[in-house]
Copies of this chain bind each other. A is one copy, B any other.
Amino acid sequence: MSDFWDVVKERRTCRKFLREEIPLETVLRLLDVFKYAPSGANRHPWKIVLVKDEALRKEIRRVSEEAESDFHQRAPDWMKAFFQEQGIGPQKPFLSEAPYLVCVFGRRKSPYFKESVWIAVGLFLLAVTNAHLGTVPYTPSRKRAISDLLKVNLEWDLQLILPVGVRDPNEFIAERPKPDVREFLSIK
């Protein structure tokens, strides 16, 4: 129960979770935002697989980390600098350490499915913050392998995985100044 702007300002990415269980009901309540989110022609073009099973989370992590090593080697220099500043490597411990993975798929044939999914993700990030929990929008490089693990057919495009859990208060996050609105805005 927080004021809207407080939630917006408190939101921050979490990549380090405590090994702490949270009730399934809590996560289901967060997923309610997908009921209320708008979507292209009101098609609700998403499918969500909520992964609680630890063995499956570990397998998703293993598959993802395999691809991440390649990705980190190929990244442009400025991105490598960003990764280093933030302490981000090809290891994705949050995929197995958070008690839940919210895997979000978009229906390829629905109009504006990608736009719709990511609007809903915006709402979800705030819902997680509002519940004093942590998450990070993780876009896996090996989408196909994860769809296979989750037995989701190719009608659906894996958009992202959102680990959800209790944030580790000791997580290191490099502080970055917020841009001023005038930096990206012009008025006509």
A contact set with B: CB distance below 8 Å: 1-5, 7-9, 11-13, 24, 28, 31-38, 41-42, 44, 46-53, 56, 79, 82, 111-112, 114-115, 117-123, 125-127, 130, 137, 139, 150, 159-160, 176, 178-181, 183-188
Q: Are B118 and A114 in contact (CB under 8 A)?
A: yes
Cα distance, A140 to B155, chains bound together (Å): 26
- A31 contact set on B, CB distance < 8 A: 181, 185
Q: Are B49 and A137 in contact (CB under 8 A)?
A: no
Cα distance, A53 to B185, chains bound together (Å): 15
Task: Name 7 extra pairs, CB < 8 A, besides A8-B123, A41-B79, A115-B137.
Answer: A4-B7, A5-B130, A24-B187, A35-B180, A50-B185, A50-B188, A117-B118
Given A1-B3, A38-B13, A111-B79 contact (CB < 8 Å):
yes
- A185 contact set on B, CB distance < 8 A: 28, 31, 47-50
